[in-house]
Amino acid sequence: MLFIVVFLGFTDHPSAQNQMEPIAVNGKIDLQQWIPSQSDEIIPLNGQWEFYWKKLLSPQQLQKTSHEQIYSYAPSEWSKMSIDGEKLANTGFATYRLSIRLNPSAVNQSLALYIPASCSAYKVWLNNKEIASSGIVGTNPMLEKPWTVSHVVYLSPTSQNLELVVQISNFSQRKNGMWDSFLLGRADSITKKDNLDFSLQLIMTGSFAIMSIFYFFTFFFRRTNVMALFFSGICILLSIRLSVIDGYILRNFISDSSFVVVNKLEYISIILAMIFLIKYISHLFPNEKHPFISKTLTLIGSLYSIFILVTPVTIFTSTLYFSVCFVILVFSYHVFYVYPFAIVRKRDWALSNLIASIIVIVTVINDGFYYMGYFTSVVLAYSGFFIYYLVQIITMANQMSKAYEELEVVSNRLTELNINLENKVKERTGELKGLNEKLSASNAKLKSIEKSRREFLSNISHDLGTPMQSALGFVEMMIKGLIKENHQKYLQIVFEKLTFINKLSDDLFELTKLEENKIIYHYIEVDVGEFLKEIEKNFSLDFQRKGLLLQVELIEPFFQKEKAYIRIDTFRMEQAFQNLLQNAMKYTPKRGTVRIHAEFIIDAKKVIIHISDNGIGIDESILPEIFDRFVKVDEARTASTEGIGIGLSIAKEIVHAHNGEIFASSEKGKGSTFSIMLPVKVE
């Protein structure tokens, strides 16, 4: 019931008349049917009260003098009455009297009387005893002190008859007379009703106040959320309005408050709430608002608020219907303009807002007709406004949680990005590490190249220098005539030294060309068997001369069936074989055997040609570097001056140019095997 109170305070309505309830006739109400011990019913003391216009009479005065009897219907304002055909004014004063006849069982029962907030001031007597007052009743504006609160008075009747006398004056506002029902009931029933009304009003006032604080701080901590500020404004205005109407909170907390302030707050709060509502909806549907209408309505509301502030209570309270119209106007603007656009544009909550607003308008119009007495109905605007407010709260909550949801999505994406970034950094770090390792490797390689360059130079100077000095020594001795005889022998030595120097320079030149890829290879496909036959043919004589045996095992079972081709530059490949065979010759003692045989790896499509000797063999420690330049074993050096450590490097370069591999295995004193692996094509 309190929800409509929040908005319009249409509390000056006659309560719907229950046909079964007793009704006062000619200033008397018969409650003999009502047995308080059996019924917790609350009886409105409605009907015809004795009415003494322009008279403030005490119960004693009323009893002494006889008066012309006029009756006024309660609850109703006296301004709706006419006396002698003349309509009564809003302002004035009067005395009401009602005689109540109770059931005998009601005597000595605990009863209570609810006295409504009659306007603007009142004083009540029960059986000649003053029981309640609100403000000071006066016969003119100067004498009246208006105050509008309700009271609950407890009584225990000593007889069946009760007499209620009520003085009311109004010089201070629109409402007048006994516009709300006096209620009689059992003490517990009235207390319950009063507590319930009060609690409800308190709960609602508190809830709106807390909501207002919540939304205000929501705005405070995120200034861009202006919607929250306007919603907070609406809430606080509703809270204020609830705290000043009906007198429940006033009576308990702010009994000294000014009548004017309270009334101004009651009227101005609803208008300001409407202004905040326009702002709030404008932010909810920013693209659907009509700037001109919004501004005009805001201006009208602001001007009207100023009007309420500056005019006396009697003036502005008489414009109640204007404020009702203003409320309807604001809602109509939203219903007929903003929401339809929002619905067409598929905005969230537009439809529910429209429906709730239509409900408000319909219920307000219904109540308007009801108060004007056009048809009997029930007051609905409370529920209408409640539904509307509920929709707003849900809309607001939804908007906020959506914002959080978006935030969550963004935050998740950021986390994801962060993880990706971390992975990327890891990846990049890995790449950098790899590059670093490569760089270190290159660096080490460069260092080793530099080392080998230095070694190369020192080897060259040594290998060239030694025979050169020896040859020079012999030539010098011959020139100086120190060698007297056997010239032929010494010239032969000089010749050999120079031949060695010449070979060394040729080999170096050859190796440099090979290493720098300056050699052009002329590849042809050659049958492996044919090629090895050629090798045998070219070298067997040399071996014989040196007292060695060259065995070429041309025919393996495989070669009987198939033909295997290698793609080689025959001249260069023979050169590689020559280097290997010459070494075998050099390092194999007389009567030794050098064997050439081919091994075929079918799956890998490779052929490996092994050259094995049973010569001096190579030390295990030197084997891994045997194909590097200038690598030679000391014994080799002493064994022959021909060895300079380039032959195997040349062989390696040639084999590599053929996409092949060269490797060596050896056992000191037992012999060595050099193997060349080449790609093979089988037919």
- Residue 24: partners with Cβ closer than 8 Å, 6 or more residues away: 45, 46, 47, 48, 49, 74, 98
Q: How far is the CB of 535 from ligand ADP (least distance, A)?
A: 16
- Residue 341 carries which side chain, given as an amino acid letter? F
Nearer to ligand ADP, 265 or 636 (CB): 636
CA distance 27 to 98: 5
CB distance 67 to 21 below 8 Å: no
Cα 532 from chain centre:
77
Nearest residue (CB) to ligand ADP, 170 versus 672? 672
Closest approach of Cβ 550 to ligand ADP, in Å?
13
Nearest in space to 124 (alpha carbons), one of 86, 101, 97 = 97
Q: Round the CA-based radius of gyration of the chain to a whole number and report it.
A: 61
User: Which residue's CB is nearer to ligand ADP, number 233 or number 647?
Assistant: 647
| Cβ 525 to ligand ADP shortest distance, Å | 28
Which of 48, 583 has the CB closer to ligand ADP?
A: 583
Minimum separation from the CB atom of position 439 to ligand ADP (A): 32
Q: How far is the CB of 456 from ligand ADP (least distance, A)?
A: 13
Q: From CA 655, how far away is CA 333, in angstroms rounded?
A: 95
Task: Mention every residue, 6+ apart, whose C-beta is less than 8 A from residue 395.
Answer: 284, 348, 349, 352, 353
Nearer CB in complex with ligand ADP: 117/636: 636
Three-state secondary structure string covering 299-365: HHHHHHHHHHHHCCHHHHHCCHHHHHHHHHHHHHHHHHHHHHHHHHCCCCCHHHHHHHHHHHHHHHH
Least Å distance between CB 604 and ligand ADP?
A: 26
Query: What span, in angstroms and rounded, lies between the C-alpha atoms of 77 and 90?
Result: 8
Cβ–Cβ under 8 Å, residues 381 and 328: no
**Nearest CA to 194 among 248, 135, 148, 118?**
248
Give the residue with the Cβ less far from ligand ADP, 564 or 618. Answer: 618
- Please state the closest distance from residue 652 (CB atom) to ligand ADP, in A: 9
User: Is omega for the bond preceding 120 within 30 degrees of 0, making it cis?
Assistant: yes
CA distance 92 to 87: 12
Round to whole Å and give the CA distance between 645 and 632.
5
Binding footprint of ligand ADP on the chain (CB under 6 A): 579, 583-584, 587, 613, 615-618, 626, 631-633, 636, 643-648, 672
Q: Which is nearer to ligand ADP, 268 or 636 (CB)?
A: 636
Q: Which is nearer to ligand ADP, 126 or 508 (CB)?
A: 508
Closest to ligand ADP by CB, 148 vs 672, is 672
Helix 226-244 with 381-479: angle, nearest 10 deg: 150
Q: Please report how close the Cβ of residue 530 comes to ligand ADP at its closest, in angstroms.
A: 25
CA distances, 184 to each of 3, 333, 606 (Å): 25, 45, 119
Closer residue to ligand ADP (CB): 313 or 633: 633
State the nearest-atom distance from the C-beta of 470 to ligand ADP, in Å.
18
CB of 441 to ligand ADP, least distance (A): 26
Question: Is beta strand 549-553 parallel, antiparallel or unpaired with respect to 593-601?
Answer: parallel
